[in-house]
A = this chain, B = another copy of it.
Amino acid sequence: MAVKIKDVAKRAGVSVTTVSRVLNGEKYVKDDLKERVNQAIADLGYSPSQIARSLVRKKTNLIGVIVPDLTSSFYSTILSSIEETASLNDYNLLVCNIIEDIDKEYKYLNVFKEMRVEGIVIMHEKINPEIRSFINALQIPVIFSSVKPADQNFISVIIDDYKAAYDATAYLIQLGHERIGFIGGDMRDVTSGQNRYTGYRNALSDHGRKVIYELIRFGDYKVQSGYQLMSELLEGFNPPTAVFAVSDDMALGAMNCIHDRGLKVPDDISVIGFDGSQLTELVRPRLTSMEQPIHEMGKLTVETIMKLIAGTYRPDGDIIMEHRLVIRDSCNAIDEQIGLPT
């Protein structure tokens, strides 16, 4: 890795400036010189140092990404889309997988700063004051993808979680269900915690259902948690006939729990998920889910940050994307259900 621009220049018998010019595709280089330079580059196996280049250009083409959990189907799909779009724009990704580890997040935010990334994508909304002020002090674009922290200064690419949860619940109501359970997220999260919960509650009341608190549980979006909460619901005196889980992972956990107790989805209990992750098509019965346009969100996240970096865009609030109910096989109308022994 020892060959540098000077070596190329020497070998081609030109100045470093000329080499730099052909490297950067400038015109004003005569064809024969250009050829000699290219030849020298090939001979030497030269590859310009992005480090040196970044230093002088003050441009790193780096985006930092903070993912809560790489192994989650939802996040890995967004990340995949983010990577794809970034690559198309000649940007590279520095990824950090924080696993509920605030210290690690803080450490990485510092790394991002030191690495002079040009933009940061964050995919969780548990932002504490320290992190908040750190981010605000950063003079680079930060964008939240699929989540929205409470602080209004931040910009998010997101769906209308309230409305989506409302619609999911309304769908269950429309199928005739009265006892609709709720497997929720973390109420400290505005987007995926509070908004989805409120959507659920309002859908119930707007349709003349009363909110049954025994049927409401909160967890952490993961399969395991959905399993656990579902088992609590099943142990109740009068279980729900349908359940709305605020993530597909939790929905899967719920389905597994139902299955393991010898019951059937959707014959005994209907389950609707949230996210539209790949899981929905992979499980049996296939999971009906309120879908986020995951791929589009990743794409738009990067495209927006590109504009922010270029300075060609002044955000006037969040970017709201459309949610979409995708009906598969995990929900029955109430009169098709066998009903549980009470």
Q: Tell yes or no: A17 within 8 A of B by CB.
A: no
Does A326 interact with chain B (Cβ within 8 Å)? Answer: no
Question: Contact at A52–B49, with CB atoms within 8 Å?
Answer: no
A324 contacts the other chain (CB 8 A): no
A220 to B: closest C-beta gap in Å: 16
Q: Which of A54, A69, A97, A110 has the most CB of B within 10 A?
A: A97
A150 sits at the interface (CB 8 A): no
Q: Give the complex CA separation of A226 and B68 in angstroms.
A: 30
Tell me the number of copies of this protein.
2
CA distance A259 to B92 in the complex (A): 42
- Provide the A233-270 mask, 1 if CB < 8 A to any CB of B, else 0: 00000000000000000001001100110000000000
Question: Is A310 located at the chain interface by the 8 A CB criterion?
Answer: no
Looking at the complex, which of A30-38, A77-85, A180-188 is the stretch in contact with chain B?
A: A77-85
From DSSP, what is the main secondary structure of chain A's interface residues? helix
With most chain B CB atoms within 10 A of its CB, the pick from A71, A79, A115, A252 is: A71
Question: Could you tell me which residues of chain A, from 250 to 302, have a CB within 8 Å of some CB in chain B?
Answer: 252, 255-256, 259-260, 278, 282-284
In whole angstroms, how far apart are the Cα atoms of A283 and B54 in the complex? 47
Residues of B within 8 A of A97 (CB): 80, 83-84, 87
Q: Contact partner of A278 among B49, B71, B80, CB < 8 A? A: B71
- A111 close to B (CB within 8 Å): yes
- From residue A5, how far is it (CB to closest CB) to chain B in Å? 12
On chain B, the residues within 8 Å of A282 by CB distance are: 223, 252, 256, 283
- Residue pair B60, A70 in contact (C-beta under 8 Å): no
Bound Cα distance A114, B51 (Å): 8
Q: Which residues of B contact A104 (CB under 8 A)?
A: 87
Residue among A51, A93, A111, A113 facing the most chain B CB atoms (10 A cut-off): A51
Query: What 10 A-B pairs are tightest by C-beta distance, nearest first?
Result: A70-B80, A50-B114, A76-B76, A83-B97, A47-B113, A50-B115, A51-B54, A259-B284, A51-B55, A71-B76
14 additional A-B pairs beyond A51-B54, A92-B111, A93-B94, beta carbons within 8 Å, are A1-B113, A1-B116, A47-B110, A47-B114, A49-B55, A70-B83, A71-B73, A71-B77, A71-B80, A73-B73, A84-B97, A87-B96, A87-B108, A255-B284
Name 24 interchain pairs, CB-CB below 8 A, sorted by A. Answer: A47-B110, A49-B55, A49-B116, A50-B111, A51-B51, A51-B54, A51-B55, A51-B115, A52-B55, A70-B76, A70-B77, A70-B80, A71-B76, A71-B80, A71-B278, A87-B97, A87-B107, A87-B108, A92-B111, A93-B94, A95-B95, A252-B282, A256-B282, A256-B284
